[in-house]
Structure 1
Amino acid sequence: MSSATLQDDPSVESFFNVVETETLALFEHLSFEFLEEFDVFAPAQTGRTRDHEPPELMRGFLHCYYKDIYGIRPVERELRNTVVWLSCGFDRPPSRDAVDRFLTDLEHVANEVFDHLVEQAARRGLLDLTYCIDSTDVRAMPADPDASKCYDPTKDEYYYGYGCTIVSTGQKIPIAAEFTESKQAPEETAMRVTRDALAVEQPIWMVGDSAYDTLDWHDHLLAAGVVPVAPYNARNTDDPLDIEYRVEDRIEEHSEDVQLKQPTLDETYNRRTGVERTNESVKDCGLGRTHARGRVHARAQVFLALCLRLVIAITNYERGDNPGSTIITV
């Protein structure tokens, strides 16, 4: 019996009418049919077809991550639940191979899927005029052969795993991100993620900590009409300047008419705590510790967590609730 037939059954229909689940709410305002447009999900040239379509598998993973269920086997077990697989649009429970294959294929288009959801958030006015950039740790299982020993300067400790650089705005809304080999990402990663963020919408301010005290980052933003706010790192020179923020020096290179007041810069920099809250909310969605073996599945899990955070924010907005909340109230 297909899911359509089951949902037409009076007893099942009455169940869905009476019991409004968080899973149904997650998918109420967003369509995932756009996934079918990606070539990676097309049937193989050998003629092999998929037992399940990408939209229902995406919904299945989002449901599981919302319920703190990670890993191929736990996800496959959860999707055996009749109410769950019906809610996600399956006509029958997916096999472990189908779950594994989808996660592997998703990694190839993870950025594009994330970008699509960012666009949906932007259309709903969930972005504001201050962007914040930061990196966070992604802890891996000891059995992950691709992960490595990384250093977290914030906590002054080593961990085993990867990293992720995130730009966020508004109420814990991630708008650009990149999976990295460690929390301390190279400058080119910061530049790439910054460019991705500016491609969404142009803010007024871009805030980062002293790790972003680089000339290229500042000059790129100023040339784009965005004011970068990052503390000046005097350790980068033998002849330190008498400034608090690098932009105080660089602004003169780009404009003779603009003057930045110290209190304004201080107030803007204090908004940086927003990206830390975003990082924590995305970790609640599955970014905190990967339950995957290998870089491909780890990266896919990170972007699924980012996507889930966006889906929750959009869902809460559409339901008239707080987009910054990490839960859905039904």
Structure 2
Amino acid sequence: MDEFFNLVAVETLPLFEYLDFDFLSEYDVFAPDERGRTRDHHPPELFRGFLHCHYKGIYGPRPVTRELQNTAVWFSCGFDRPPSRDAVDRFLTDLGLVVDDVFSHLVEQAAACGLLDSTFRIDSTDLEALAWNDDASWNYDPTAEEYYYGFGLSIVSTGPKIPIAAEFTQAKQASKETAIRVTRDALAVKQPIWMVGDSGYDILDWHDFLLEAGVVPIAPYNARNTTDPLDIEYRIEDRINEFTEDVTLKRSILAETYKRRTQVERTFGACSDCGLGTLRARGRAHARVEVYLGLCLRVIVAITNYEQGENPGRTKLVA
């Protein structure tokens, strides 16, 4: 029997070896309701089950429930029996209320491993949804110069393709408020030296927020429709003059640091390998959970590879 388990489920077992998922049981949302209903299973087991399924490319309550009927799978995830469809549905709904906190908890573990570096990158991406998701909408993607049906996601990433802050949005284009909010969440994890974004982050308030926090923002200057453009390449050149006369930044250093921005695009790719792709869930709430599960899995894969002495930037475990 042990040989059978090893043959079938060993691929995802390492995901559960280096992190203690019992912290999920501390969230009130997973407690029995007022009628005294008990949970079919503890949250850690169901969270492991969803991580296993996302790693294997299995999404949605019905396919997840079906996968967790496999003896080797439910056993390796810590269940004492396979969970019911109701238990899977209920957990997914409850997880939606705390999934951002769960993600933050895992990011803190990555920080404790020393996996975060001193350059943060910020960007947003489109998330396509299937036609049956009535909460999605048609949005224009200026990068691809086309419309898509779905949602958006803004993230801050650092280190070996690790997302450390995120916000699920209705569209790809991030507002000023979203940019500042996700940046604030990232700085709560660690204070970097640099924060890099594309020209979409040529936002005065975003720059000033970072400068006040002691972080140097680098985003290309976007002259937009001004009739009198500034003689600068990066907005920070002008903001430094506004903030102080004692500090200068060489444009060559700014340009060299800005080249690191592409890491955030690779982070999106790494997260795609962990399930961040076309959203199959129905409704906004379950779509959001699906996205955050992909982000959580990416962080866990990085930590697991690190703990095993492998490259934490790998998007899959070493067999």
State the TM bucket, normalised to the shorter chain. over 0.9
Amino acid at match of 1:28: E
Residue 71 (str. 1) matches residue 60 (str. 2): yes
Q: For the structure 1 residues 323 and 236, does the alpha-carbon distance in structure 2 shift closer, same or farther, using more than 3 Å as the test?
A: farther
Conserved 8 A contact 2:194-2:215: yes
Aligned residues: 319
Larger mean Cα displacement after TM superposition, 76-85 or 255-264 = 255-264
The TM-score normalised by the length of structure 1 is 0.94
In structure 1, distance between residues paired with 2:272 and 2:147: 18
Conserved 8 A contact 2:46-2:88: yes
Residue 178 (str. 1) matches residue 167 (str. 2): yes
The TM-score normalised by the length of structure 2 is 0.98
Conserved 8 A contact 2:5-2:72: no
Q: Give the Å deviation of 1:105.
A: 0.8
Alignment of 1:282-321 (within 5 A): 282-321=271-310
Q: For the structure 1 residues 28 and 265, does the alpha-carbon distance in structure 2 shift closer, same or farther, using more than 3 Å as the test?
A: same
Residue 82 (str. 1) matches residue 71 (str. 2): yes
Conserved 8 A contact 2:218-2:236: yes
Conserved 8 A contact 1:107-1:300: yes
Amino acid at match of 2:49: G
In structure 1, distance between residues paired with 2:275 and 2:48: 15
Name the residue aligned to 2:11: 22
Name the residue aligned to 2:176: 187
Q: Give the Å deviation of 1:271.
A: 0.3
Identity among equivalent positions (%) equals 70
Name the residue aligned to 1:232: 221
Name the residue aligned to 2:28: 39
Alignment of 1:48-127 (within 5 A): 48-127=37-116
In structure 1, distance between residues paired with 2:298 and 2:308: 15
In structure 2, distance between residues paired with 1:48 and 1:19: 34
* Superposed CA offset, 1:137-159 (max 9, x none): 11111000100001111111111
In structure 2, distance between residues paired with 1:147 and 1:193: 21
The gaps in structure 2 that reach 5 residues or longer are none
Name the residue aligned to 1:130: 119
Conserved 8 A contact 1:207-1:230: yes
* Superposed CA offset, 1:244-295 (max 9, x none): 0000000122222211111100111110000000011112211111110000
Paired residue secondary structure (2:97): helix
Amino acid at match of 1:101: R
Q: For the structure 1 residues 18 and 93, does the alpha-carbon distance in structure 2 shift closer, same or farther, using more than 3 Å as the test?
A: closer
Name the residue aligned to 1:7: none
Name the residue aligned to 1:250: 239
Conserved 8 A contact 2:4-2:72: no
In structure 1, distance between residues paired with 2:236 and 2:81: 57
